[in-house]
Amino acid sequence: MVLGGGGFVGGAIMRALTEAGFAAFAAHRHPVGGPAAAGVCDATDPVVVRNTLLGAGCVVNAVLGDAASMLAATRNITAAASMLGLRRVVHLSSMAVYGPTVGLVQESAKLIGGRSYADAKIACEAASGADAIILRPGIVYGPGGEQWAGRIGRLLRAGRLGDLGEAGDGRCNLIHARDVGAAVVAALARPGLEGRIFNLSTPAPPRWNQVFFAFGRAIGAVPVARVAAWRLMVEGRVLTPLLHLAKIGGMSARLPAAMPRSLLALFGQDIMLDYHMADQALGFARTADADGLGECAAWFLRRYGKPRR
């Protein structure tokens, strides 16, 4: 049972599980179509979670939401899994738990968090039970991924992203959604992994500036603009709060994407997830970055059309 299986990452996990021969079912807060749909599931409701997990052998927690919802869902899943005696619990965490750490980061590194999402993910890890297998993916991207393909592409086309200079020197710890699915399959299938934690990332993460150039060129957002530091400051400190206010005021329909300061900080964060443990224990094959970005570009062009010259 994949809770949150109707989302972008959850969907990729579902496909990987199905291809690997698992009898996989997806539950989501919104209705999910298809033969594998297990119905609507409000993961913040312990009874609903327990009922959803009845008869399942393993559960994957891919629930996303606000901090309180994610924590409540994790607690409910942990409790239900324990009560129902599920064989495996795989919990999808995030590299955000490392906070502003830089350099090569192993799974044993101190969890710093610092922002609400990161703190929530740390709390979820703590609540996920001693036997849960925790996956900490980097930037989960792929065709259909609005967050790291659609949004980035639109910002590149608008000239709001591009060559960010030192602000784009951070490492982009890419991991294709398909590879996250493959990692989940391995986590469920391989013995003796209970209680272990794995970073999921490309072995040689490119810098964000490189990603912006490669993706920008692939979607025709050229020449890739040099974005001045002052413009990024305006994005983070002025435009984003204004967009947030407009969203609160119900004007979210056609608003441009915001670039909050946390996102801008990520572009400059020189963090490299150590991928070796996942390689050794999970042994899944990864999509090459160039291939993955190419897939995203093809999807983006289908979704948003070719650039106007």
Partner 1 sequence: MCRLVFAQIWQATTVIVDASNIADGTKLPADLCIIGAGVAGIAVALEFEHSRISVLLLEAGGVKEAAATQAFYDGDVIDRSLHPPLTRYRRCALGGSSGIWGGRCVPFDPIDFEARPWVPRSGWPLRYEDLLPYYKRASWLCEAGEFAYSADEAFPDGMPAILSRFRGRHFTDTTLERFSCPTNFGMRYRKRLLAARNITVLLRASAVELDEGGDGQSVAEVSVATLGGLRFSVQPRYVVLAAGGLEVPRLLLASRRQQPAGIGNAHDQVGRCYMSHIAGTIGKVSLPAAFGRPCHGYRTSDDGTYCRRRFALTADAQQRLGVGNFIARLHHPAPRDPSHRTGVLSALFFARPAIRFEYALRLHGHGKLSARDWLRHLCNVAFDLPDTCRFAWHWLRDHSLAERKFPSVIVRPKGGQYSVDFHAEQAPNPQSRVTLGTKRDALGMPKLVVDWRVTPLDMRTVREALAALKADFSQTGCATLEYDPDEVEACALRYGAYGGHHIGTARMSASPQDGVVDAQCRVHGMDNLFIAGSAVFPTSSQANPTLTIAALALRLADGLKRDLSVKLGCC
> Cβ 205 to partner 1, closest distance in Å?
12
Q: Which of 165, 194, 244, 277 binds partner 1 (CB under 8 A)?
A: 165
Only segment of 17-25, 71-79, 164-172, 242-250 that touches partner 1 (CB under 8 A): 164-172
- Here's the x/- map for partner 1, 76-105, by CB under 8 A: it reads as --------------------------xxx-
Q: Which of 213, 267, 275, 299 binds partner 1 (CB under 8 A)?
A: 213
Neighbours of 305 (CB within 10 A): 9
Q: What are phi and psi of 94, to 5 degrees?
A: -160, 155
Q: Which of 217, 244, 276, 303 binds partner 1 (CB under 8 A)?
A: 217
**In the beta sheet, which residues pair with residue 200?**
137
In this complex, which beta carbon is closest to partner 1, that of residue 228 or of residue 234? 228
SS3 206: coil
In this complex, which beta carbon is closest to partner 1, that of residue 175 or of residue 224? 224
**Which residues contact residue 295 at a Cβ distance below 8 angstroms, ignoring those fewer than 6 apart?**
142, 143
> Cβ 261 to partner 1, closest distance in Å?
16
Q: Which of 69, 147, 210, 262 binds partner 1 (CB under 8 A)?
A: 210
SS3 183: helix
SS3 140: strand
Q: Which of 224, 258, 273, 282 binds partner 1 (CB under 8 A)?
A: 224
Near partner 1 in 235-274, by CB under 8 A: 268, 270, 272
Cα–Cα separations (whole angstroms), residue 114 to 65, 81, 96, 167: 18, 29, 9, 20
Q: Which of 68, 83, 204, 229 binds partner 1 (CB under 8 A)?
A: 229
Q: Report how far apart the first and last C-alpha atoms of the chain are (Å, whole number).
A: 47
Pairing of strands 133-137, 197-200: parallel
Only segment of 3-11, 18-26, 39-47, 214-222 that touches partner 1 (CB under 8 A): 214-222
Q: Which of 163, 276, 277, 281 binds partner 1 (CB under 8 A)?
A: 163
In this complex, which beta carbon is closest to partner 1, that of residue 107 or of residue 163? 163
Q: Residue 161: enclosing H or E segment and its boundaries?
A: none
147 is a contact residue toward partner 1 (CB under 8 A): no
Q: Report whether 87 contacts 117 (CB < 8 A).
A: no
Supply the DSSP string of 44-63, one letter for each residue.
T-HHHHHHHHTT-SEEEE--
290 is a contact residue toward partner 1 (CB under 8 A): no
13 is a contact residue toward partner 1 (CB under 8 A): no
Only segment of 9-17, 217-225, 241-249, 297-305 that touches partner 1 (CB under 8 A): 217-225
Cα–Cα separations (whole angstroms), residue 269 to 136, 220, 263: 17, 27, 10
Which amino acid does the sequence have at 169? D
Q: Report whether 155 contacts 239 (CB < 8 A).
A: no
> Cβ 122 to partner 1, closest distance in Å?
22
> Would you tell me which residues interact with partner 1 (CB under 8 A)?
102-104, 162-163, 165-166, 169, 210, 213, 216-217, 222-229, 268, 270, 272
